[in-house]
Amino acid sequence: MAPLFLLALVSAARSSTDTTRSVDVLLGTVALAYTARSATALPYGADLRVLLALIQQVTETGEVRLTVPALLQAAGLGYGGRQHEALFAALDRLAAVTYTVQQAPAALGLPGAFRLVMPAFRLPGGELQIEVSPEMLAQVLRVRANPAPTFRPEIPSSALALYGVLDTLQQLPGQGQTGALSLPLLGLCELLGLSGRPDNARRALLAMVEDLRSAGYISRAEIRGQGRRARLEIADAGPDAESVALLCGERVSRSRATTFVRRHGAAGVRRCLNRAREVRADMEDRGGQVKNWTGLLCNVLDDPDRYGALVAPVVPAPVAPPSAVTPLAEPDVVYDSADVIRLVRALGKGTLKEPHQQALRQRLDGGHEDPQAWGRRLSQAVASDTIVEVLEQLAQELTRVASPRPGGPLGQDVLIAAGEQRSGALEG
């Protein structure tokens, strides 16, 4: 995100004073002070989603041209009369507000005064034309020059303001790459525009933190202290454990897998993986061969734009928009038997020998074990640092299955019952 988003330009909640908002806070060593003024009403809530959609679509000349349905889709607002009304109201609020910055980190290079966008108007062909302010455009072009964009579209609208603040704080010198932050609770609530009673603001902030945790951006966070000494402690901005395990199964080192998942998110990693597989298949169809599959995958993850891995498909505007559109949920990781075997080989570290792997493959292919359940179990073990124990237990179970004790049908029934009980536990 652009450094301007450290200011929480669009408050998370509607303010009791619609036309003026003054902020003067200290977040650790970062001092922020600015004033927002509007002749009509200050932007808030989902207006930030509209602003981000404009930033994603703006050209290098600062111009955005989109049809109303296309802008609604880009902003994730859905379709319908109410959505159209909400879109134009958001555009009016974004165009009316001006900001005056009294204090901010010099490293971010923020202007002393700026606007967000200019008023929108319709072209003869029906498209909307919107110009981004010169100050905002300069920030956007600065971010685009960075090969590691940080915006993650799966962040819920309710937590976007907090995400922008945390993401920008991570870019400041001296913050490091661990994601650990300690922020004063009252100052953070003031910056985000969570006004009203302190307990209500605290609950609203905790809801935003939980949304970021569910999205995989924060792994551990808690509030410590009471009253004015209360602080939000973020231990780590943790990546999605299943996506890290999936990349480790493709022989990517854990440190690089963690970096890639932090950069692209769970959905972006899967798109890059699918694109790398397409490149490999295309090369094999032409008679070639990929000598270093892991190297190819890392190249796609390092520079997804070069391979077209993260390019969103162009979706034409629907002729008859549906009355309501449910946002698409991020798909779960789907494991097959080959994925499970790759995970076992990559994470086994000598625990599972080749006979064990062959026995596991036979049980997976024969339908005696659920690949999805085993994939989740292994990825969760990686996340909880219990992978060695889980693999040792798996080796013991496979040894018993491969060498059933004598005793005829009774002994076989015991083994079958144990296998069914284990599969049932995994599915549960």
Summarize pLDDT for 374-405 with one digit per residue, the tens. Answer: 877 877 776 666 777 778 888 888 777 655 54
117 bridge partner residues? 132
Asked if pLDDT for residue 329 goes beyond 50, the answer is: no
Phi, psi dihedral angles at 140 (to 5 degrees): -65, -45
Q: Rounded distance, CA 85 to CA 64, Å?
A: 19
| CB 216 within 8 Å of CB 236 | no
Q: For residues 406 and 48, which has the higher predicted lDDT (pLDDT)?
A: 48
CA 71 to chain centre: 21
67 bridge partner residues? none
Structure tokens of 234?
Answer: 């973020």
Angle between helices 160-169 and 198-214 (to 10 degrees): 80
What pLDDT digit, counting tens, does each position of 232-281 carry? 888 765 556 667 778 888 888 877 887 788 778 778 888 899 999 999 99
What pLDDT digit, counting tens, does each position of 157-208 carry? 778 888 888 888 877 766 545 567 888 888 999 898 887 778 888 888 888 8
What pLDDT digit, counting tens, does each position of 1-34 carry? 677 888 888 888 877 677 898 999 988 888 999 9
How many other C-beta atoms can be found within 10 angstroms of the C-beta atom of residue 313? 4
Asked if pLDDT for residue 46 goes beyond 90, the answer is: no
Among 243, 238, 236, 242, residue whose Cα is nearest residue 222: 236
* Strand ranges across the sheet with 30-38: 20-27, 30-38, 97-103, 113-115
Helix (H) or strand (E) holding 423, with range, is helix 409-427
How many other C-beta atoms can be found within 10 angstroms of the C-beta atom of residue 43? 25
Going by pLDDT thresholds of 50, 70 and 90, the confidence category of residue 107 is: confident
Q: Rounded distance, CA 110 to CA 135, Å?
A: 9
Q: Where are the domains of the chain?
A: 3-238, 239-316, 334-428
Task: Work out the average pLDDT over 94-106.
Answer: 92
Phi, psi dihedral angles at 98 (to 5 degrees): -130, 150
How many other C-beta atoms can be found within 10 angstroms of the C-beta atom of residue 390? 18
Asked if pLDDT for residue 411 goes beyond 60, the answer is: no
Cα dist from 272 to 170, 185, 243, 248, whole Å = 24, 37, 12, 14
- The mean predicted confidence, pLDDT, of the chain is 78
